[in-house]
């Protein structure tokens, strides 16, 4: 861990004042109010060592990173049946694209683009009595953290600007791949995206994807090894929208980004690392976060390849 600690500190100092060409996501008004200068990193290893630097304890809107936890819970309920409703292929299109849904008859390409995550939310609405509360309880158990909350202001801000997502949900419904009420599914979707965590909390909650022996404090196993392997595979190929190939090429880890500027990256059997820097590149991924992780896996020689 000492090695990781020093490397993370060194890279953080090296990149802290780098010229960041990205822009904060301003199409969701609440995200536009976040200081673009925030920069935090936290690593949690499979032997439970933990280290952070910068703004690693500051909570932020994790946005699409929450799709990982929604997918995990849906996969627990449905197992392989889930893949009849949502595919596992990279999309090669922007995360809010309608184009492929027409050709694929309402089956989204993967669970991490918006259309796929909306279908996953629909699956959860079918299984959970109180979807918002039950999903939050699941996240609290996985992270052993009772302080997790939705940011209601962000959820409402998403709703106000969510015309594209509303269109996606209705379009999928027209193909019969949304089973529940569209408004209920969308309200749940906007809330999971508004979930707030710090880098420290994110690196802890994602550890079940790195640790084969992960058991919650209530004694529950989150996924089988086979299921965790499959989620990591989708993270590697689809976790960064149409920049997923670039991330696999430069960083070499399964991971997931969100337009709040957060990124998680998983090294199976070793660690989970979370980075936060709100300025995004043109593909919607944190500019400094991507740079940090590329430098980190280069210096630690810890790509999975």
pLDDT tens digits for range 1-19: 558 999 999 999 999 989 8
pLDDT at 109 over 70: yes
Neighbouring C-beta atoms of residue 204, cutoff 10 Å: 21
pLDDT at res. 1: 57
Residue pair 196/149 in contact by the 8 Å Cβ criterion: yes
> Does position 269 have pLDDT exceeding 90, yes or no?
yes
Output the pLDDT for position 100: 87
Whole-number pLDDT of residue 246: 94
> Residue 22: is its pLDDT beyond 90?
no
CA distance 143 to 112: 21
How far, in Å, CA of 295 to CA of 251, rounded? 8
Half-sphere exposure of 68 (CA within 13 A, CB side): 36
Give percent of the chain with pLDDT exceeding 70.
98
User: In whole angstroms, what is the distance from residue 216 CA to residue 202 CA?
Assistant: 15
Q: Does position 29 have pLDDT exceeding 60, yes or no? A: yes
Mean pLDDT over residues 114-139, rounded? 98
Are 118 and 186 in contact by the 8 Å Cβ rule? The answer is: yes
Compute the distance between CA of residue 287 and CA of residue 266 in angstroms, rounded to an integer. Answer: 19
pLDDT above 70 for 124: yes
Lowest mean pLDDT of 171-175, 228-232, 242-246, name the range: 242-246
User: Do 60 and 193 meet the contact criterion of CB atoms below 8 Å apart?
Assistant: no
Domains by residue range for the chain, with CATH = 2-297 (3.40.710.10)
C-alpha to C-alpha distance for 82 and 236, rounded to whole angstroms: 19
**3-state class of 149 per DSSP?**
strand
pTM recorded for the entire structure = 0.96
Q: What is the pLDDT of residues 53-86, one digit of tens each?
A: 999 999 999 999 999 999 999 999 999 999 999 9
Average pLDDT, the chain: 94
């Amino acid at each position: 861990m000492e090695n990781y600690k020093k490397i993370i500190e060194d890279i953080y100092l090296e990149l802290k004042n780098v010229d960041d060409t990205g822009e904060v996501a301003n199409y969701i008004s609440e995200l536009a109010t976040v200081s673009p200068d925030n920069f935090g990193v936290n690593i949690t290893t499979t032997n439970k060592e933990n280290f952070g630097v910068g703004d690693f304890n500051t909570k932020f809107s994790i946005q699409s990173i929450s799709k990982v936890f929604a997918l995990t819970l849906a996969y627990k309920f449905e197992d392989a049946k889930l893949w009849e409703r949502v595919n596992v292929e990279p999309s090669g299109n922007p995360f809010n694209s309608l184009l492929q849904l027409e050709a694929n008859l309402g089956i989204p390409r993967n669970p991490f683009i918006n259309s796929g995550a909306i279908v996953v939310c629909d699956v959860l609405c079918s299984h959970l009595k109180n979807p918002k509360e039950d999903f939050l309880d699941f996240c609290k158990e996985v992270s052993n953290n009772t302080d997790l909350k939705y940011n209601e202001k962000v959820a409402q801000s998403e709703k106000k600007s969510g015309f594209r997502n509303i269109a996606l949900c209705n379009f999928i419904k027209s193909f019969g791949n949304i089973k529940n009420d569209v408004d209920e599914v969308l309200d749940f979707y906007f809330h999971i995206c508004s979930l707030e965590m710090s880098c420290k909390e994110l690196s802890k909650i994602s550890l079940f994807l790195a640790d084969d022996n992960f058991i919650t404090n209530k004694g529950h196993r989150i996924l089988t090894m086979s299921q965790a392997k499959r989620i990591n595979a989708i993270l590697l190929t689809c976790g960064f929208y149409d920049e997923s190939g670039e991330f696999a090429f430069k960083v070499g880890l399964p991971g997931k980004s969100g337009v709040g500027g957060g990124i998680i990256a998983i090294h199976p059997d070793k660690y989970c690392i979370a980075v936060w820097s709100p300025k995004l590149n043109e593909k919607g991924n944190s500019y400094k976060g991507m740079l940090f992780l590329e430098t980190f896996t280069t210096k630690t020689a810890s790509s999975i390849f």
